[in-house]
Amino acid sequence: MDSLKEEQQRQLLIDELTGLFAKSGLKIIGAVGTDKYDAPPRLRNEGYGDQDDKRPDIFALDEKTGHYVIGVARLGLNDLESDHALTQYNVFLDQFDPRTGERARLIVILPAAKVAEFNTLITHYIHPDLWGSISVVGSDALGA
């Protein structure tokens, strides 16, 4: 798997997380790099980082809870705490279902070997009140 280009590796993670979303019964609204779903919508940036709206890798709705569920794939190769990544985390955690007022849940998938690093850095950059809205999926698909 190491020979795969970064974009191919990232797409493997997106595909894995899309499959997990579907298995969990989430209504997938959009996913990057697939013919099965449209591209996810760009989400409004209300004042973070570069001020640009951001597109997640996967955008779904948990119809049972009324939560939007936003999926992001990270390889852990200088993409965990870049300015772009930090802006995305804040933008995605600032989304609410207009009908229910429920805050979006952010699911980040990354190689299992990078989970501890991500958990450490997120506590430095994201407000503690939002930690409960973030879940991490460690993928073994790309190896250590």
By C-alpha distance, which of 136, 130, 137 is closest to 48? 130
Question: What pLDDT shows up at residue 65?
Answer: 87
Q: Which domains does the chain have, with CATH numbers?
A: 6-139 (3.40.1350)
| 81-85: Cβ within 8 A, 24+ apart | 81/121, 81/125, 83/49, 83/50, 84/49, 84/50
End-to-end CA gap in the chain: 10
Question: pLDDT tens digits for 34-71?
Answer: 999 999 999 999 999 999 999 999 999 998 888 899 99
The per-residue pLDDT for 1 is: 47
Q: What residues of the chain score a pLDDT lower than 70?
A: 1-3, 143-144
Query: pTM score, two decimals?
Result: 0.91
Could you give the angle at the alpha carbon of 14 between the alpha carbons of 91 and 128, nearest 5°?
A: 35
